A = this chain, B = another copy of it.
Amino acid sequence: MVGIRDIAAHLNVSVASVSRALNNHPYVNEELRRRVVESAKLLGYQPKQSGRSLRQGVSKTVGFMIETHPKLTSNIDLFLMSIFDGVQTVMRRHALSLVVLPCSGDEDPVEYLRGVVERRFVDALILSATRPNDKRVALLTKEGMPFITLGRTGFRDKQPWIDLDFESFAEQSVDRLYRSGNRRIAIMVPAGPLNFGQITLVGYQRALEKRGIAFDPALVAHVVLDEASAASACNTLLMNADPPTGIILINEALASGVYTCLRQSNLEPGRDVEIVSLEDGRLRSLPSPLTRFRFATHDIGIALGESLLSLVPAFAHYYAGTEFQRLWQFEVVEPTDLNT
């Protein structure tokens, strides 16, 4: 039986080149691709089925499950659009399609996903909005569908994931505030079942402990990710007998609510109360008294797409060596002095 080695010998090129050409690798010279295809025909080459499963599959489609419940998503959406763009960049290299699967607020995410799997109209999946011990992981593992989660679902996850390094964000935030003299450090995290709030709190507690500061539950605010909720939580923090001098925000959308609250109490953000936040993914924000932790959302999308395809037999060889579990680091953006 004729193999790709025979084609390589016939054309006097490497086996890897032939493999790339036959698999429609995006970086193959068109002239070489044409010669390989012609030789394959000439020599009677028959591709093995296993290596072509997804490409020959019904769907050629990869799904990205999101949740559209406004209380869960709010400003997270800004973040997702840029990630879709990155994932799509990877899929186009292989003539695959990305479809986004929106689970609405009144649906159970596990049941929704079961429907997606049963219909078999995607070949691989990315899951977002992960919960602790997310049941969707067990479902996809059982079904044998390649998938990756954007976000962890526990500290001992076995499935592939990419996540922002929320512990590090919390720890570095506490460290910065501590170094500039703060000992009463508050944090605002999302209310609800999402996993990243829990992870952030773990990092926060660990960093406090390391610095010898007692954990005070009164300094932890669980908020909806909008301005009004942040302003209200900030008011409660200020009513504390020993109010915070530093505040960590899980999302920049909270900042303007906190600013408004502080200024109503004649406190200037950045001067009287120091603030650290994750950046919310806007294109370009204004100078700000915030220290911001920035993440490269488009690159996260590319990494998600590449990691996912490394799990799919037909594409694994393009992405050999891709990490399966990956914590994404932040870049720190220093606060801007607004008076200069």
Chain B proximity of A211: nearest CB distance (Å): 33
Determine whether A179 belongs to the interface, using a CB cutoff of 8 Å to chain B: no
Determine whether A106 belongs to the interface, using a CB cutoff of 8 Å to chain B: yes
CA distance in complex: A285, B256 (Å): 10
Determine whether A325 belongs to the interface, using a CB cutoff of 8 Å to chain B: no
Determine whether A16 belongs to the interface, using a CB cutoff of 8 Å to chain B: no
Instruction: Please determine whether B97 and A68 come into contact, CB atoms closer than 8 angstroms.
Output: no
Can you list 19 A-B contacts with CB-CB less than 8 angstroms, sorted by A residue number?
Answer: A60-B119, A68-B85, A70-B82, A75-B282, A81-B102, A84-B102, A88-B104, A89-B104, A89-B106, A97-B101, A99-B101, A100-B100, A121-B121, A224-B283, A226-B285, A228-B283, A231-B286, A253-B282, A256-B286
Given contacts A68-B84, A81-B77, contact A284 B101 (CB under 8 A): no
Residues of A in contact, count (CB < 8 Å): 51
CA distance in complex: A285, B74 (Å): 12
Nearest 4 pairs of A and B residues by beta carbon? A100-B100, A88-B104, A68-B85, A228-B284
CA distance in complex: A103, B84 (Å): 9
Determine whether A218 belongs to the interface, using a CB cutoff of 8 Å to chain B: no
CA distance in complex: A105, B301 (Å): 13
Contacting residues, chain B, for A78 (C-beta < 8 A): 74-75, 77-78
Instruction: Please determine whether A77 and B77 come into contact, CB atoms closer than 8 angstroms.
Output: yes
Copies of this chain: 2
Residues from 225 to 260 in A contacting B, C-beta threshold 8 Å = 226-229, 231, 253, 256-257, 260
Instruction: Please determine whether A283 and B106 come into contact, CB atoms closer than 8 angstroms.
Output: no
Chain B proximity of A181: nearest CB distance (Å): 28
Instruction: Please determine whether A284 and B227 come into contact, CB atoms closer than 8 angstroms.
Output: yes
Determine whether A92 belongs to the interface, using a CB cutoff of 8 Å to chain B: yes
Query: In the complex, which residue of chain B has the Cβ closest to the Cβ of A260?
Result: B286
List 10 additional contacts besides A226-B285, A229-B284; criterion CB under 8 Å.
A68-B84, A68-B85, A70-B81, A71-B283, A73-B81, A99-B99, A100-B100, A227-B282, A253-B282, A260-B286
Contacting residues, chain B, for A29 (C-beta < 8 A): none
Determine whether A69 belongs to the interface, using a CB cutoff of 8 Å to chain B: yes
Given contacts A231-B286, A257-B286, contact A102 B121 (CB under 8 A): no
Query: In the complex, which residue of chain B has the Cβ closest to the Cβ of A261?
Result: B286
Chain B proximity of A237: nearest CB distance (Å): 17
Contacting residues, chain B, for A103 (C-beta < 8 A): 88
